[in-house]
């Protein structure tokens, strides 16, 4: 079984530590996405798993044995690089068979492997082309094919879609998802794009400044972000944040007063906090509605309206100058300069303390979760 276990993995260059003790437990067959802003250490971590970077300290286990000091080829991994890294002087056939040839495999064996992989990827008619004669999408397939023929336990993808244009990116993303179903192998996939992460991953690792910020399923990250960073990173447009204070703590909810004067409830566990603590309220644009129909209402001036057809993004400024975005229905007639009221269900609110950690939500999950995820994927496929 090709589980991958990372146990307190650290990485330092000279004296600067760039990864501060990463623990991850990846089960066989899982599709795990490492996501985070550039410079968060996600690519370094992937390269350490691949064996292209030394591990400063900690243990890396693949399929039950420690592989810290094994060369890449002995780890049972295969990697797909951002630039595809196809050997420019070899044709597709040679590119895909190079690793097997180095490993000393027989000619017939190699031929069969390569042809099979090429068929899966629909590139069997391109085998005698050179990389420079291929389109971006085709190169991408060859790079994946080169990984497949090695029969690895674990596939590593380093931002494989970032060099493709938007349309091709969506198409290839879908194909990588299908490929995962077909091969059933473990995949570790690095990206900076949260939509790729949400749509592809069984599990997502959100990284920030060399640490794992949160590790969980896409829906978990969306509904129960444990930090403000994750809350802001997952979801598009970004979650709105409003400053406020706790005015009362009850067993199943807290009462908050926001800096613009609004009061609201939030259904979170505040047992470790006290009245008067500063907090940040988080509310996603898709959970805000025009009008006064729900528990909590805010009012402000509209500064910009973006009409997407099926929805409109209303940018507005509240009395205390904080800015928020509302995802309103596509039929909304709101125009710039108008003063409008918006409202939200207090069950959909998130609360973060002064250290940006989330207070545990008590009654979440009852808010149209499947629909929300569908929306998220729809947003993604447009990008």
Partner 1 sequence: MTTLSTTTINRIAKPFPWHILFFLGPGLLVYVAISVYPLLDTLWLGFFQENETGQRSFAGLKNYQDLLFNAVWSDPFWNALWNNFKFFCIHMLVQNPIGLFLAVLLSSPRLRLSNTYRTLIFMPTMLSVVIIGFVWQLLLSPLWGISEGFLYSIGLENLFDAWLGKESSALITLALISVWQFVGIPMMLIYAALLNIPEELIDASVVDGSSAWQTFWNIKLPLILPTIGMVSILTFVANFNAFELIYAVKGALAGPNFSTDIMGTLFYRTFFGFQLQEGSITMGAAVATLMFLIILLGVALYLFFVQRRVQRFQL
The contact set with partner 1 (CB under 8 A) reads: 47, 50-52, 71-74, 77-79, 81-83, 85-89, 98-99, 102-103, 130-132, 146, 150
The nearest distance, CB 99 to partner 1, in angstroms, is 4
The nearest distance, CB 182 to partner 1, in angstroms, is 22
The nearest distance, CB 12 to partner 1, in angstroms, is 14
Residue 72 or 177: which CB sits closer to partner 1? Answer: 72
Strands (E), the chain: 4-13, 16-26, 31-35, 57-62, 65-66, 77-80, 154-158, 186-191, 203-208, 211-216, 240-249, 254-258, 263-266, 278-283, 288-290, 296-307, 311-318, 323-329, 339-344, 350-352
Q: Which backbone phi and psi does 294 adopt, to 5 degrees?
A: -120, 175
DSSP annotation of 126: G
The nearest distance, CB 121 to partner 1, in angstroms, is 17
The nearest distance, CB 77 to partner 1, in angstroms, is 7
Residue 69 or 369: which CB sits closer to partner 1? Answer: 69
The three-state secondary structure class of 41 is coil
Q: Do residues 229 and 213 touch, judged by C-beta distance below 8 A?
A: yes
Residue 80 or 349: which CB sits closer to partner 1? Answer: 80
Residue 33 or 154: which CB sits closer to partner 1? Answer: 154
DSSP 207-250: EETTEEEEEE-HHHHHH--SBHHHHHHSSSSPPEEEEEEEEEE-
The nearest distance, CB 47 to partner 1, in angstroms, is 8
Nearest to 139 by CA among 151, 158, 121, 154: 121
The nearest distance, CB 28 to partner 1, in angstroms, is 21
CA distance 325 to 283: 10
Nearest to 359 by CA among 227, 214, 256, 235: 227
Residue 55 or 246: which CB sits closer to partner 1? Answer: 55
Residue 54 or 278: which CB sits closer to partner 1? Answer: 54
Residue 13: how many other CB atoms lie within 10 Å: 10
Residue 84 or 229: which CB sits closer to partner 1? Answer: 84
Residue 7 or 82: which CB sits closer to partner 1? Answer: 82
Residue 130 or 249: which CB sits closer to partner 1? Answer: 130
The nearest distance, CB 236 to partner 1, in angstroms, is 29
Residue 52 or 362: which CB sits closer to partner 1? Answer: 52
What are the angstrom distances between the C-alpha of 117 and each of 92, 146, 148, 202, 336? 12, 8, 6, 24, 55
The nearest distance, CB 109 to partner 1, in angstroms, is 15
The nearest distance, CB 20 to partner 1, in angstroms, is 23
Tokens of 136: 């971006």
CB neighbour list of residue 102: distance below 8 Å, 6 or more residues apart: 73
Count of residues making up the chain: 383
DSSP annotation of 354: T
């Amino acid at each position: 079984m090709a589980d991958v276990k990372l146990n307190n993995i650290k990485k330092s260059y000279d004296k600067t530590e760039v990864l501060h003790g990463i623990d991850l437990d990846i089960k066989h067959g899982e599709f795990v996405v490492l996501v985070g802003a550039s410079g968060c250490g996600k690519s370094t971590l992937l390269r350490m798993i691949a064996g292209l970077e030394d591990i400063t300290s900690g243990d890396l286990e693949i399929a039950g044995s420690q592989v810290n000091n094994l060369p890449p080829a002995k780890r049972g991994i295969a990697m797909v690089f951002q630039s595809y890294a196809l050997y420019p002087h070899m044709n597709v056939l040679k590119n895909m068979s190079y690793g097997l040839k180095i490993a000393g495999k027989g000619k017939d064996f190699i031929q069969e492997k390569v042809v099979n992989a090429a068929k899966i990827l629909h590139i069997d008619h391109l085998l005698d082309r050179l990389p420079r004669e291929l389109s971006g999408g085709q190169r991408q397939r060859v790079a994946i094919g080169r990984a497949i023929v090695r029969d690895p336990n674990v596939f590593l993808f380093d931002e494989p879609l970032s060099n493709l244009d938007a349309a091709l990116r969506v198409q290839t993303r879908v194909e990588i998802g299908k490929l995962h179903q077909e091969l059933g192998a473990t995949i570790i996939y690095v990206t900076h794009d949260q939509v790729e992460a949400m749509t592809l991953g069984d599990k997502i690792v959100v990284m920030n400044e060399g640490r794992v910020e949160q590790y969980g399923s896409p829906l978990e990250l969306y509904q129960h972000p444990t930090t403000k960073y994750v809350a802001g990173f997952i979801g598009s447009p970004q979650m709105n944040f409003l400053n406020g204070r706790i005015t009362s703590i009850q067993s199943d909810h807290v009462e908050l007063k926001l800096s613009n004067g609004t009061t609201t409830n939030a259904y979170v566990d505040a047992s470790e906090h006290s009245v008067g603590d500063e907090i940040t309220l988080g509310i996603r644009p898709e959970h805000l509605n025009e009008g006064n129909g729900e528990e909590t209402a805010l009012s402000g001036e509209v500064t910009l309206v973006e009409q997407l057809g099926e929805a409109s993004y209303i940018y507005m400024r509240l009395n205390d100058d904080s800015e928020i975005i509302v995802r309103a229905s596509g039929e909304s007639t709101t125009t710039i300069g108008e003063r409008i009221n918006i409202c939200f269900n207090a069950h959909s609110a998130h609360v973060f303390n002064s250290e940006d950690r989330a207070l545990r939500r008590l009654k979440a999950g009852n808010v149209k979760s499947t629909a929300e995820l569908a929306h998220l994927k729809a947003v993604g496929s447009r990008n």
